[in-house]
Amino acid sequence: MNVNPPQVSTPQHQHLNPHDIKAQTTLKITGLFWFAIVVLGQWAFLYYIAAFYGVSIISGDISIWNRYEPLGSTPFKVGDTAGNTMFGIHALGAGIVAFAGALQLIPQVRQWAPRFHRWNGRVFLVTVIALSLSGFYLVWVRGSSPNTLSAIGTTINGLLILSFSYLTLARIRAKAIASHRRWALRLFLVANAQWFLRVGVFSYLMVGNALGAEPNLNSPFFIFWTFGCYLLPLAILELFLYAKSHNYTLIAWGVSALVLALTLLMLGGIIGLGFFFQLIINGDPIPF
């Protein structure tokens, strides 16, 4: 998987003028900046999963999962051994996705360690499929979602993961490498939708507070972001891929500006989310 997919060879790309080259270079740099921030955010998420869920499982004190109760979430349920076990596995699996998925995006890993890349990809693929299926159980059997709309959003997300997993695997089996990488990128985005969901919420809260808008958890934003957490990243990816494979300078500049702006928003959300996760790990009161 490569965050910078191969550029299609066309007569347009064979005669780039300096302005076109500058636009494409800027687009590549913004893509790399996005990638770097995502990796940092994903591995910070991995730390949270290990420090909170991992430690609680090892210590046997999984009741601390209910530190989210002020937000209406009680993952730990007394007497529900099957449900608690499924939730714990689901949470730890998200850590595997955060670690393995980020590695799959690094082209040097594929080039220098192709065997590791293949096995890491298999682990990632099996894990995201398992998380999708366990997510269906948690949402519709255990009733973990706060409302029906959230359950529907999670279900669509899971169906996209299963569909993109199939297409990613099918394209590599057909030796359609470029197509495989594009589908793998799409899979990476939908597989990490719940991370984007959390980051987006904190981006919204931080920007809203900075503008004096007093954002709250009943805002229409949360309805939009239930689905936007995977649809928006997918849309941005398609714009990025289009700009990379077509010689339209204005589009390249426009997509670069959009990716840069959204990456900065994402960075703010990652920082805010990091502080929040540390509160949860420490058992400190949630301030909202």
Report pLDDT for 11: 38
Helices (H), the chain: 11-14, 18-48, 55-59, 81-104, 107-112, 114-136, 148-173, 177-191, 193-210, 220-245, 249-282
| pLDDT tier for residue 71 given thresholds of 50, 70 and 90 | confident
Phi, psi of 66 (to 5 degrees): -80, 15
Host domain of residue 231 = 26-282
Quick: pLDDT tens for 139-154.
999 998 888 999 999 9
Angle at 217 between CA 235 and CA 89, to 5 degrees: 70
**Residue partners of 161: CB distance under 8 A and separation at least 6:** 128, 129, 131, 132, 187, 190, 191
Report pLDDT for 10: 41
Residue 250 in any domain: the answer is yes
Quick: pLDDT tens for 249-282.
999 999 999 999 999 999 999 999 999 999 999 9
DSSP per residue, 155-211: HHHHHHHHHHHHHHHHHHHTT-HHHHHHHHHHHHHHHTHHHHHHHHHHHHHHHHHHT
3-state secondary structure of 27: helix
Residue 3 in any domain: the answer is no
Cα 43 to Cα 104, 160, 247, distances in angstroms: 13, 23, 35
Residue 130 in any domain: the answer is yes
Domain total in the chain? 1
For residue 217, is pLDDT > 80? no
| pLDDT tier for residue 12 given thresholds of 50, 70 and 90 | very low
Residue 10 in any domain: the answer is no
Through-space distance between the first and last CA atoms of the chain, rounded to whole angstroms: 39
Residue type, 80: D
pTM: 0.91
Residue 7 in any domain: the answer is no
d(CA 80, CA 218): 30
Residue 189 in any domain: the answer is yes
Residue 17 in any domain: the answer is no
Residue 20 in any domain: the answer is no
